[in-house]
Amino acid sequence: MAPFEKVARDALYIGGAWVPAAGTGTIEVIDSTTEEVLGTVPEGTAADVDAAVAAAVAAFPAWSARPVAERTALCTEVAGALGARMETLAELIAHEVGMPLTLSQLVQVGLPMASFSSMAAVAEAFTWEEEVGNSLVVREPVGVVGAITPWNYPLHQIAAKVAPALAAGCTVVLKPSEVAPLNAFVLAEVFDEVGLPAGVFNLVTGYGPVVGEAVAAHRDVDMVSFTGSTRAGRRVSEVASATVKRVALELGGKSANVLLADADLATAVPDGVGKCFLNSGQTCSALTRMLVPRAKLAEAEELARAAAEAFTTGDPFDPATRLGPLVSEAQRDRVRNYIDKGLGEGATLVTGGAEPPEGLDRGYFVRPTVFSSVTGEMTIAREEIFGPVLVLMPYDSEEEAIALANDTDYGLAGGVWSADPEHAKAVARRLRTGQVEVNGGGFNPMAPFGGYKQSGNGRELGTFGLEEYLEVKALQL
């Protein structure tokens, strides 16, 4: 475990300055590996949200009037400043969340850098005005954006909202997850360093039922963008509906990875295990349901067992570690409970289980786990577990596989494997989900990210992410 000095953050970033919170409460941030206090942040209140929104409202006219090139130039500067802090940020997020350090650099810092740096190209290529008959159609910033973000990819989820919002000309009030908020303070320092005008970005830490709800309900917040659980997303929608503001939601998933009859299992199964276990399974788009032809189930089980058992669990700062801890005690207990439910409902345990990994009694660790012979009505096939738990589901026909894949309340991601790429794409088109990997196709940070059904509405990243923060106006000429 890398040494880390406790971080005591005692102020919020509002109106371009570090100011004390209205209340006196503090929130402890826990190191997911050691279970020790990593740092503290202010427990914000509704009064703090009022102050942050007022600052964002005051900053909006001047910021929205700035040329697009100036706004995106600042985004480019932010990307560079994050890059200069990559090592420190990656270590911090590895402590907060538990992702192995090498991956933390690549994903937890690399993706936020890409979100900010790509906005210059996206905004420059964007059609801000167009003539439609006798009308001039213009796109304008939506206004003050309330961003409420989760803990699993904390800085990435912040950047995926804040970068396009700023490029669009919006001002922002951010409420990061109280579980992993320290990285957001580093971003605020970066904004201060690059000279972002006062009030364009504001940071208020606190709990969802207090700060989150105050942001979603605020009459001067024009849009709320939320990433988190479907349950919490429903509440955000409910609260925001009182002021009929725009709401963008990126919620849960229970994504199916469909291995067709002619798929190369030796390649597809290990890839699928990796796509399920990334970030210890704490990924909304994780491919957690692997659909396998019944005749090949035994083969898939052995391949999945070998792949899962190769995920060395341990200290995220050990180069040999492939699977770090879960983010919190509550999350660890939740995942273990799901493993017990799987056993209780008759699923076959291929590897793993609810017991702590050997030699890891301290830290929020869970064994990499694979279940087989899982049926569509089992809890572990229907509910989002958010841990390193993969379920293998057998099917007897391609039509049944597609039906199983779509038999979910969610629709965030998916995968299809076939020896025939065109056939794989044809099946992918039939999955009701926002993204589909075809034969292991890689994540594209410029492609639209978001879901169907209860996985939310709206899209993030690239041009589609920019469009979320724009209003459309028609000037009749």
Q: Are residues 470 and 432 in the same domain?
A: no
List residues with catalytic annotation. 250, 284
Q: What is the DSSP letter of 210?
A: I
Residue 9, both tokens: 């953050």
Q: Are residues 72 and 132 in the same domain?
A: yes
Q: What is the DSSP letter of 152?
A: S
In a domain, 332, yes or no: yes
Longest dimension (CA), the chain: 73
Give strand pairing partners of 470.
141
Q: Are residues 353 and 464 in the same domain?
A: no
Read off the pLDDT of residues 359-394 as tens digits, 9 standing for 90 and up: 998 999 999 999 999 999 999 999 999 999 999 999
Q: Are residues 278 and 240 in the same domain?
A: no
The answer to whether the Cα torsion of 462, 466, 80, 51 is positive or negative is: negative
Q: Are residues 63 and 124 in the same domain?
A: yes
Does position 6 have pLDDT exceeding 70, yes or no? yes
Predicted confidence at residue 2, as pLDDT, reads 61
Q: Are residues 308 and 225 in the same domain?
A: no
Q: Which of 2-16, 168-182, 252-266, 363-377 has the lowest mean pLDDT?
A: 2-16
Contact 211, 44 (CB under 8 A): yes
Read off the pLDDT of residues 292-313 as tens digits, 9 standing for 90 and up: 999 999 999 999 999 999 999 9
Q: Are residues 324 and 274 in the same domain?
A: yes
Predicted confidence at residue 361, as pLDDT, reads 87
pTM, whole model, 2 decimals? 0.97
Q: Are residues 15 and 112 in the same domain?
A: yes
- CA distances to 376, 391, 462 from 342, rounded to whole Å, are 12, 9, 38
Q: Are residues 240 and 373 in the same domain?
A: no
Does position 1 have pLDDT exceeding 80, yes or no? no
Our count of domains for the chain comes to 2
Residue 175, both tokens: 């409420």
Percentage of the residues of the chain whose pLDDT score is greater than 70: 99
Helix axis angle for 154-168 and 182-194, nearest 10°, is 30
Instruction: Look over the chain and give the mean of its residue pLDDT values, rounded to a whole number.
Output: 97
Read off the pLDDT of residues 305-342 as tens digits, 9 standing for 90 and up: 999 999 999 999 999 999 999 999 999 999 999 999 99
Does position 33 have pLDDT exceeding 70, yes or no? yes
In a domain, 285, yes or no: yes
In sequence order, which residues have a C-beta less than 8 Å from that of residue 439 and are 6 or more positions away? Answer: 268, 416, 417, 418, 421, 424
Sequence-ordered strand ranges (E) for 265-366: 289-293, 348-351
CATH number at residue 379: 3.40.309.10
In a domain, 2, yes or no: no
In a domain, 305, yes or no: yes
The arithmetic mean of pLDDT across residues 253-263, rounded, is 98
Q: Which residues constitute the domain of residue 317?
A: 256-445
In a domain, 424, yes or no: yes
Predicted confidence at residue 354, as pLDDT, reads 96
Q: What is the DSSP letter of 106?
A: I
Q: How many CB atoms lie within 10 A of CB 129?
A: 10
- CA distances to 25, 46, 63, 91, 129 from 50, rounded to whole Å, are 17, 6, 20, 33, 34
Q: Specify burial of residue 295 (Cβ count, 10 A radius: 0-12, 13-18, 19+).
A: exposed
- CA distances to 19, 94, 273, 433 from 455, rounded to whole Å, are 36, 27, 22, 9
Q: Are residues 168 and 261 in the same domain?
A: no
CATH number at residue 222: 3.40.605.10
Q: Are residues 462 and 379 in the same domain?
A: no
Q: Are residues 23 and 168 in the same domain?
A: yes
Read off the pLDDT of residues 141-164 as tens digits, 9 standing for 90 and up: 999 999 999 999 999 999 999 999
In the chain the first and final C-alpha atoms are separated, in Å, by: 65
Predicted confidence at residue 5, as pLDDT, reads 77
